[in-house]
Amino acid sequence: MGLFDSLKNKKNEPQGPVVAGAVTAGTFVPMAEIPDEAFAGGILGPCCGIEPADGQIYAPFDAKVVSVIQDSKHALGLLGPGGAEVLIHAGIDTVEMNGDGFTLHVKEGQKVRKGQPLLTMDLERVRAAGHPAVVIMAVTNSDRFAGQTWLAEGELTQGDDILRIEV
């Protein structure tokens, strides 16, 4: 790597905290109240949920889509500013639906902008299948950062500041 490459890489790193927006409109759900033991216990990293008002899920910040669960279409991973890795998981145990009721709007490797549609879930189908529809945002590499703070509570509009990651 040359001198200019290292300067360019540093220039692209955020100089302060990374702030993520709510991926959907709805009601904030603290980690301990997510109706799934793995997420509520923080096994996949610090997280929160949003009980969705609709089934539209959007990018929380400018990012690269690094993983997509193609078969079930219910989850995807983003690589965001400062190297933040965020898992977005639509519904609880919705992997069992085998993609029924889910539509992906992105593919692995794609770059997305904050607020860009990522996926849609049919809330009626999810609930009819007996699954909670809560949408989860988890910071899967939180140990890499100085900390993270959940900024929200109550009712959210899509895009509202919900998470600050100290890089």
Q: Report the C-alpha gap between 35 and 131 in whole angstroms.
A: 10
Distance CA 41, CA 33 (A): 10
Two tokens at 7? 């300067």
- Contact of 90 with 121, CB cutoff 8 Å: yes
- For β-strands 47-52 and 26-29, DSSP reports them as antiparallel
74 catalytic, yes or no? no
> Chain centroid to CA 69: how far?
14
Which one of the listed residues 74, 89, 105, 131 is annotated catalytic?
89
Catalytic residues: 89
